[in-house]
C-alpha cells in the first residue's frame, strides 16, 4: 500500500469511527420548553421545561451571547411529569443574550 493510500484509509477509518462514537444529536422535540431572557438582567438566559413523556430526559439551556463566548447551562434531568429550569449568564463584557435554545437528550 502506497503512502497516500494508507493515509486515505486511515482518514476514512477515523471519520467513520468518530461518527459512530459521537453522541446522538439533541432532538429538542420531546420536552415542552419555554425560553427567555431574565427581565432584570439582559445577560441571563433561561429554559424552563416540562417532561410530558414516559421517558427520562436531560436538558440544558444554550445561550448565544453578543461579543462573548456562548454559554451552556447546567444539565437538568427530568423524569416523566417533572419540570425544571436551566440558566446561563453571558460574560460581563457581552452585549447581552442574542438567543436562547435547548439541548435535550434522552437518558
Instruction: Look at residue 13 and tell me whether its pLDDT is greater than 90.
Output: no
For residues 2-13, give the mean pLDDT.
49
Residue 29: band (very low, low, confident or very high) from pLDDT cuts 50, 70, 90? confident
Q: Which pTM was predicted? A: 0.73
Could you read off the pLDDT of 84-97 as tens digits, one per residue? 999 999 999 999 99
Instruction: Indicate whether 25 pLDDT > 70.
Output: no
- Please say whether the beta carbons of 100 and 44 come within 8 A: no
Domain 24-106 classification at class level: mainly beta
Residue recorded with cell 429550569: 85
- Give 39-97 pLDDT, tens digit per residue: 999 999 999 999 999 999 999 999 999 999 999 999 999 999 999 999 999 999 999 99
- C-beta of residue 106 within 8 angstroms of C-beta of residue 54: no
**Domain limits, the chain:** 24-106
Q: Using an 8 Å Cβ cutoff, are 106 and 51 in contact? A: no
Amino acid at each position: 500500500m502506497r503512502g497516500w493510500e494508507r493515509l486515505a484509509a486511515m482518514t476514512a477509518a477515523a471519520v467513520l469511527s468518530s461518527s459512530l462514537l459521537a453522541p446522538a444529536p439533541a432532538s429538542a422535540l420531546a420536552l415542552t420548553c419555554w425560553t427567555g431572557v431574565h427581565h432584570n438582567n439582559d445577560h441571563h438566559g433561561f429554559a424552563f421545561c416540562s417532561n410530558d413523556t414516559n421517558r427520562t430526559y436531560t436538558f440544558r439551556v444554550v445561550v448565544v451571547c453578543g461579543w462573548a463566548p456562548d454559554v451552556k447551562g447546567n444539565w437538568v434531568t427530568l423524569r416523566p411529569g417533572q419540570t425544571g429550569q436551566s440558566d446561563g449568564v453571558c460574560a460581563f463584557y457581552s452585549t447581552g443574550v442574542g438567543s436562547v435554545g435547548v439541548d435535550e437528550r434522552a437518558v
